[in-house]
Amino acid sequence: MNRSQLFEQIKKKKSYLCVGLDTDLQKIPKHLLSAADPVFEFNKQIIDATHKYTVAYKPNIAFYEALGPKGWESLQKTLEYIPKDIFTIADAKRGDIGNTSSLYARAFFEQMNFDSITVAPYMGEDSVKPFLDFKNKWVILLAHTSNPGSSDFQLFESNGRKLYEEVIRKSQQWSTPDQLMYVVGATQAEKMQSIRALAPDHFFLVPGIGAQGGDLEMVSKFGMNDHCGLLVNSARAIIYASAEKDFSKRASEEAAKVQQSMEIYLHAFT
């Protein structure tokens, strides 16, 4: 999916919601455990219930990998089930030497046909570039994450420039906003504003709304650009809104609530 197609979807659905498919056998409703593939069954019902309000789905690859080969089959079926006009993100945080990153790119872009993958920047340019060789496929590079440990190295500072700022600056030499997004977990207004100034045209994938705390209005106000430029992820608050038989109905209600706020912010801030 290219950038203008993504923006079209955002305008059509009046939403920039990304639903995180962090599907955990220990958390899904018990009645699904007797299905042939409980993970896929859960995802299928969540997708049916939320796709009207959603422009992206983001399976967290760890949850599937932890189940062994069966988990990869559930992931592949899930990906095939997602409507083709919805952007898909492999939240895999990969990144390795060139020939190895090429293989990860093949795994996620060819074997599984994801639109994008999250990539860790530590190993530099040749670890990122192989993912950019695929037309209309995207790298979502970790810039500033929202977890407690994000301050350990991402704030390491050289001549007034923090590491995450250096990642944003340097990586713009490798690609364009048509193939490169950033993970920006900023929950402070000034920080979101300063990161947007560094990368005015890029999409940001913003985690940290919902179970991780955060503030959708602030993120929208200071992070939006004229083609939205935001995908805001919510996982647990939507997919685990209920652990009972009404889980898909509750997920739909939660996603709708977020979409309604987003419709207001899209009107107010673009």
> Which residues are catalytic, by number?
93
Pairing of strands 56-59, 180-184: unpaired
Interface residue with a second copy among 150, 193, 225, 270 (CB under 8 A) is 150
Residue 205 lies near a second copy (rule: CB under 8 A): no
Residue 213 lies near a second copy (rule: CB under 8 A): no
Please write down the long-range contacts of 189-195, taking CB distance under 8 Å and 24 or more positions apart.
Answer: 189/218, 189/221, 189/222, 191/144, 192/218, 192/219, 192/222, 192/223, 193/222, 195/143, 195/144, 195/164, 195/165, 195/168, 195/223
Residue 253 lies near a second copy (rule: CB under 8 A): no
Task: Considering the complex, state which of residue 24 and residue 253 has its C-beta at the smaller distance from a second copy.
Answer: 24
Task: Considering the complex, state which of residue 83 and residue 98 has its C-beta at the smaller distance from a second copy.
Answer: 98
Residue 121 lies near a second copy (rule: CB under 8 A): yes
Residue 152 lies near a second copy (rule: CB under 8 A): yes
Interface residue with a second copy among 48, 80, 157, 244 (CB under 8 A) is 157
Nearest to 222 by CA among 252, 180, 184: 184
Closest CB 256 distance from a second copy, rounded Å: 26
**Half-sphere exposure for 125 (CA within 13 Å, toward CB):** 7
Tell me how far apart the alpha carbons of residues 180 and 253 are, in angstroms, rounded to a whole number.
Answer: 32
Site string for a second copy, 25-64 (x = CB under 8 A): -----------------------------------x-xx-
The answer to whether 183 and 145 have CB atoms below 8 angstroms apart is yes
Closest CB 13 distance from a second copy, rounded Å: 27
The answer to whether 144 and 184 have CB atoms below 8 angstroms apart is yes
Task: Considering the complex, state which of residue 82 and residue 167 has its C-beta at the smaller distance from a second copy.
Answer: 167
Closest CB 18 distance from a second copy, rounded Å: 16
Pairing of strands 116-119, 87-94: parallel
Interface residue with a second copy among 95, 210, 214, 223 (CB under 8 A) is 95
φ, ψ (nearest 5 deg) of residue 178: -85, -10
Task: Considering the complex, state which of residue 123 and residue 256 has its C-beta at the smaller distance from a second copy.
Answer: 123
Q: Please calculate the CA angle 137-141-146 and round it to the nearest 5 degrees.
A: 135
φ, ψ (nearest 5 deg) of residue 37: -135, 85
Residues lying near a second copy in the complex (CB under 8 A): 22, 60, 62-63, 65-70, 72-73, 76, 91, 93-98, 100-101, 103-104, 106-107, 111-112, 120-128, 142, 145-154, 156-158, 163, 166-167, 170
